[in-house]
């Protein structure tokens, strides 16, 4: 039994989809992954990432060194994707309304030592992480998982650019994992959510500095896919 994937998943199909993802983006992007060594090799990991386009999720899915299970909006589970996504281990969740079942599935995977990915902003935007919802902090505190911030830039076409870009550079920066305090109560959850927002926003800002050629706060090894 594969405890790091939801029930109904097909492990070999999950692995094949990740393998395919390492090649499918090559004609469209110059994909660069920094800080992959920061991903814990074992144990529960809640990966938090900024979100600007639909490509972000597939890019992170393909470049993660561990099996990632993402919480994905239920609207994506239609047509061919509705057949494929559950079978490669992705979880459907309804936005803007209580949806406890998928959250508990994510908690089970984390407590079994798996890795779950979530976009704390809740929807696509500029990807600067100006706000965050409580779901990520709740998952980390409930499961005891470490939080792994990941920034992604380059999938969003810059403002003012109307023509399709030829193989733009897409950068993924994996930050240092951190733990949230186990304090109880709504106030503690709000504090934990703000910690998640700040950590991720700072990582996005650092990646922006690197892409602009300005000195970054820290250095990390680079892997090019």
Nearest in space to 55 (alpha carbons), one of 137, 172, 166: 172
Three-state DSSP state, 108: helix
Mean pLDDT of the chain: 87
Least confident interval from 80-89, 90-99, 105-114, 211-220: 211-220
Q: How far is residue 170's CA from residue 33's CA, in Å, rounded to a whole number?
A: 8
pLDDT, average across residues 125-138 = 82
pLDDT at 162: 60
pLDDT band per the 50, 70, 90 thresholds, residue 224 = very low
pLDDT, average across residues 126-134 = 80
pLDDT at 121: 84
The torsion angle over the Cα atoms of residues 200, 204, 209 and 212, rounded to 10 degrees, is 170
Tell me if 50 sits within 8 A of 129, measured CB to CB.
Answer: yes
Cα 159 off chain centre by: 24
Q: How far is residue 219's CA from residue 78's CA, in Å, rounded to a whole number?
A: 41
Q: Using the predicted structure, report yes or no on whether residue 87 has a pLDDT greater than 90.
A: yes
Q: Using the predicted structure, report yes or no on whether residue 220 has a pLDDT greater than 70.
A: no
pLDDT at 221: 41
pLDDT at 217: 58
* CA terminus-to-terminus distance, the chain: 31
pLDDT, average across residues 17-42 = 91
Least confident interval from 109-123, 150-164, 168-182: 150-164
The structure tokens listed for 65 are: 């060194």
pLDDT band per the 50, 70, 90 thresholds, residue 52 = confident
Q: How far is residue 151's CA from residue 56's CA, in Å, rounded to a whole number?
A: 10
Tell me if 177 sits within 8 A of 147, measured CB to CB.
Answer: yes
Q: Using the predicted structure, report yes or no on whether residue 70 has a pLDDT greater than 90.
A: yes
């Amino acid at each position: 039994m594969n405890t790091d994937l939801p029930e109904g998943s097909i492990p070999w199909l999950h692995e094949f989809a990740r393998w395919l993802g390492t090649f499918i983006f090559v004609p469209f992007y110059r994909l660069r992954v920094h800080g992959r060594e920061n991903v814990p090799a074992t144990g529960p990991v809640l990966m938090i990432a900024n979100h600007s386009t639909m490509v972000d999720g597939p890019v992170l899915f393909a470049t993660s060194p561990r099996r990632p299970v993402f919480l994905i909006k239920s609207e994506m589970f239609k047509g061919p994707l509705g057949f494929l996504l559950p079978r490669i281990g992705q979880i459907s969740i309804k936005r803007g309304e209580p949806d406890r079942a998928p959250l508990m599935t994510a908690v089970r995977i984390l407590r079994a030592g798996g890795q779950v990915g979530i976009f704390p902003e809740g929807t696509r935007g500029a990807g600067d992480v100006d706000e965050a919802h409580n779901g990520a902090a709740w998952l980390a505190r409930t499961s005891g998982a470490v939080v792994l911030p990941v920034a992604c830039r380059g999938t969003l076409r810059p403002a003012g650019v109307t023509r399709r870009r030829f193989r733009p550079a897409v950068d993924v920066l994996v930050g240092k994992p951190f733990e949230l305090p186990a304090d109880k109560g709504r106030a503690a959850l709000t504090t934990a959510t703000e910690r998640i927002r700040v950590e991720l926003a700072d990582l996005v800002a650092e990646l922006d500095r690197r892409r602009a050629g300005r000195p970054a706060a820290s250095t990390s090894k680079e892997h090019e896919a």
